[in-house]
Amino acid sequence: MKLALIGTGNMPLMQWILDGTNDDTIINMSALARRLGCSRSSLLDRIQNHGFDSAVRHYLNEKRRKMIN
């Protein structure tokens, strides 16, 4: 997985290649789960089954749906 921080004009500010080993600790999964409004274990399960991008999109959509209702 490639993690990139994009600035104005779609210029990459920083990029990391996360290969599933020890450098994946760059992402604080607990803080991400809190922001998305889900538990850490369910987020990790969803990432394992569907991929990181899909999991984040799923929980963002769930959060938006809760805010609308």
Instruction: Tell me how far apart the alpha carbons of residues 54 and 39 are, in angstroms, rounded to a whole number.
Output: 16
Report the pLDDT averaged over residues 29-58.
89
Report the pLDDT averaged over residues 17-41.
77
Instruction: Tell me how far apart the alpha carbons of residues 28 and 5 are, in angstroms, rounded to a whole number.
Output: 15
pLDDT given for residue 7 in this prediction = 77
Using pLDDT thresholds of 50, 70 and 90, give the confidence band for residue 62: very high
Report the pLDDT averaged over residues 32-39.
90
